[in-house]
Structure 1
Amino acid sequence: MGMGNELKDKLAKRAALEVKEHMIVNLGIGIPSLVPNHLPPGFPVVFQSENGIIGMGPSPGEGKEDENLCNAGGFPVSLMKGGCYTDSSIAFAMIRRGKIDLTILGSLQVSEKGDIANWIIPGKKVPGMGGATELASRAKKVIVLMTHLDKSGESKIVRECTLPLTARSCVSMIITDRAVFTIENDQLILCEIFNPYTLQDIKESTDARYTLSSCLKYIRL
C-alpha cells in the first residue's frame, strides 16, 4: 500500500539513524533517496550513486536544481564540497570491490532469512536490474526500507520470496511503515513498533516468522 510524503520523510529520518560517520553509502530509488535530507549539515559521510556520483548531497531547493545532476532514479540532487563525477564502470567497480559500507534499498519482498526480491514482478516491464544485485551482494550492510504491505494488502515480509530473487541472505535490517526488524543468523527479530500499531497488528500483518527482541521498543515517528 502507498504512503504519503510525510510518512516517507519519517521513515527516511528513521533510516538516517543507521548512517554512521565516515561511511560510504549507496541509496536506492524512492524513499531511500530521502535519507540525506535528514542528516545534520556537515555530517561526515560519502553518498555514492551507481550513475557516477561520489559525494552526493541532499535534494536541492526548488529552483536550484541542476538538470545534469541527478541520482540513479533520475531525481535532482546536489553535490557536496569535494564531490566528483565518474563513469558507471568506476561506480560499479567500487560496489563490486566491497567499498560500500551501507546500502539502503527499497524492495518488493524480503524473506525471514534476509533474501531480497526487489527488481521485477513477472509480466511487468522494467528498465533492468540496475545495481541491485551488486549492492545487495557486496555492500557490507544492507537495509531495506519499504511499506509493510503490498498494494493487495499482503505482507512483504515473507517466509520465502515468491518473486525472482535479487540476492540471498544479505539483508540485516528491515524498516517499514509499521516496524523495524533485524536479521541475525537467519533469524528475524522484531525490534521496534511504530505508533499507532500494536504487537497484535504486526502479528496479523507479517507472514514471516519472527522472535521478539528483549529490548522491543514502541516508537512515535
Structure 2
Amino acid sequence: MAARVAADIRPGSYVNLGIGLPTLVAEHLPEHSGITLHTENGLLGMGPAPHADRVDPELINAGKVPVTELAGASYFHQADSFAMMRGGHIDVCVLGAFQVSVSGDLANWSTGEPGAVPAVGGAMDLAVGARRSVVLMNLLTKDGRPKLVGECSLPLTGVACVSRVYSDVAVLDVGPDPSSGGRARVVETYGVSHGELEEMLGLSLTSVTG
C-alpha cells in the first residue's frame, strides 16, 4: 500500500506523512527522486526509519516515532512548520483516516466515542493546506464496517479535501467530478471485482477511464 502511494508522488515534491500507515511511505521513495519529507514538529528532510542500533531518541516525527535525517535536513520552530502547511507550501500530504466520504470529506481525529481522547494534531491544517491530500488506510474497520462511506458520521477534519484513497483492497478517487454522478471512481482493485467492491462498501461506484 505504501509503495503504491510512493509511486504516485512526483519527483521534487514536498510531502508530509501522517501518523500510522502513512509513515511507511518513507521506506519506498525512489532514491534521487528529490522528494523532501516534512514533519509538523519542525524537520524538513526526514529519512526512513532507523535501524534499531541507530535510533536517536531526540530525532522523532510528530507521532513520536524515531526517524532519520537526510543530507541537507533542516530544523525549525513548530510555528514555522505550521506556516509552511497553512501557506500552501506542502505539495502532498498522506493521512490516515477513520472515514472518508465519496465527496472527499475526511474524519481522522476522533472516533466520536464518549471519553475518546481527541488527537487532531496538524491534520486539519494539512488536509486543507496541502496542495493535494490523499488517504492511506485499510478499507474496512476491524469489525468489517466500510471506512469509505457515502457521508461521514464521525467528526470531520476537513470538507472535500481528499482526492484519492489508497487501501488494501482498491485505489479510489473521491471528491467532485461531474462525470461520476457523485460516486467514487475505482482506479484499480486487488483481488476483488468491481461488483464485489460495491457490495463490500454498500456504494455504487464508477470506474476511472483512460
Question: 1:48-92 CA deviation, whole Å, 9 max, x = no partner?
Answer: 000111111111112111110111111111001000111110110
Paired residue total: 204
| Correspondences of 1:139-158 after superposition (within 5 Å) | 139-158=130-149
Q: 1:213 Cα deviation (Å)?
A: 1.9
Runs of 4+ aligned structure 1 residues displaced above 6 Å come to: none
Specify every segment of 5 or more residues in structure 1 that has no aligned partner in the other structure, as ranges.
Answer: 1-10, 216-221
Matched, 1:67 2:67: no
Specify every segment of 5 or more residues in structure 2 that has no aligned partner in the other structure, as ranges.
Answer: none
Matched, 1:37 2:32: no
Matched, 1:12 2:27: no
CA distance in 1 between partners of 2:97 and 2:91 (Å)? 19
Query: Which position in structure 2 is the counterpart of 1:203?
Result: 198
Matched, 1:22 2:5: no
Contact 1:23 1:102 survives alignment (8 Å): yes
SS at match of 1:190: strand
Query: Which position in structure 2 is the counterpart of 1:112?
Result: 102
RMSD: 1.4
CA distance in 2 between partners of 1:98 and 1:121 (Å)? 28
CA distance in 2 between partners of 1:22 and 1:59 (Å)? 21
Contact 2:2 2:28 survives alignment (8 Å): yes
CA distance in 1 between partners of 2:118 and 2:64 (Å)? 13
Q: 1:185 Cα deviation (Å)?
A: 2.3
Greater Cα offset, 180-189 or 153-162: 180-189
1:161 aligned partner, one-letter code: C
Q: TM-score, normalised by structure 1?
A: 0.88
Query: Which position in structure 2 is the counterpart of 1:171?
Result: 162
Greater Cα offset, 91-100 or 147-156: 147-156
